[in-house]
Structure 1
Amino acid sequence: MQHILKNIDLELYRGDFTVIMGASGAGKSTLLYALSGMDTPSLGTITFGNEVISEYSQDRLAIFRRRHCGFVFQQIYLIDGMSLMDNVLAAGMLVNRNRKVILDRAEKLFEAVGISREMQKKFPTQISGGEAQRAGMVRALINSPEILFADEPTGALNSKTGLDVLDTLTAFNEQGQSVVMVTHDMRSARRGNRILYLKDGMILGECNLGRYQHGDQERHEKLSGFLREMGW
């Protein structure tokens, strides 16, 4: 059996914006999927609060993810035959059957990411990639997850729309939302306060940048130096 992750000993903290970096094949996405309960480790344990989720059955893991985790991927998995609002409501109703409560939260989240009521009625094929990714963020946040997991959320977007998505993630984090993001992009990584660098399935190093501030050149230089030290 080949072990992709090796000797990982990691704690995640509430309110952090944790970024996972590393070369292709380093195990970044595997670590994210293990932390979120999407993959079950063959060795070791994953603990969420006081719950050892790595011992859960697949059905129980599905319920856990639905209630505690939100997911944003490079590939935007919105359902083409449903409007943006209906995509979000469908996710919310899995946890809370009170449609009014879910609708009120959805409208506030859509407003927060800059998607108008008129656009909420549109279908995924009628909007841009950046708009779809922001709608995907609303869907990921509709059940008030304790952690938002993002796997290369700007990877398929152009520079401008990618920046809009990063600004949205940063704004939610500033409001207390815990974020764990995989990226190979330095511009995206600068948004995190904690940077983990993986190599060959192991955490090679860690860098603490503090809270993000726009235009912080010292932050850029510190991250650049750290990544050079890691061999990036």
Structure 2
Amino acid sequence: MNKLPLIAAAIAVLAVGGWYFSSQSDGTPGATSFTAEAQDTADANLSLVSEMTLGNPDADVTVIEYASFTCPHCATFHDAVFPQLKANYIDPGKINFIYREVYFDRFGLWAGITARCGGADRYFGIADMLYERQKEWAQGEPSEIAANLRKIGKTAGLTEEQLDTCFADAEKAKAMVATFEQNAAEDNIRSTPSFVIDGELMNNMNYDDFASILDERLGD
């Protein structure tokens, strides 16, 4: 289980070395100017960041997942537990499910930018790809990881122009970091994956334990 670093430290890590996402004249990834903004999110426009949700927004039970696209335990959860949770509780409208990104490093932030680049309609499909291919894309030098994420984005139907626009949006990225900072502090998130079920913080668990908690709260 990955331990969540202090928020200030996380933002500093995100800034180290730049983004490596903007395309230079030769088409290779290069650093952008995000470093300065990444160190101060006090003036971030949080309205730029949409909550990513599935299920029934009016359900009696709300589940919030905090996870990082670079977290192996999160990938395991999304492979072994989430499909059953989706089939049995989310799709039937029994619960309101909210997914919130955690950024341990700049690569997790880059992955979040990739997932959000397709908008709400494509977000969870791209998120699934990021977890399924985590061992493939999250390896190598920063420029290689950036290129790997671009491939995933294009596989999901995004154009080179769309990806360029998303990766160059420093204000949106700053807002994402600020949103992460605010949410993690409010819910006392210290590791991933973590879950907040109707306001109660819980650690990672298997499907049977998850279902038992949900059934109790749903009165099933």
- Report the TM range for the smaller structure's normalisation: under 0.3
Per the normalisation by structure 2, the TM-score is 0.24
Q: Going by fraction, where is helix more abundant, 1 or 2? A: 2
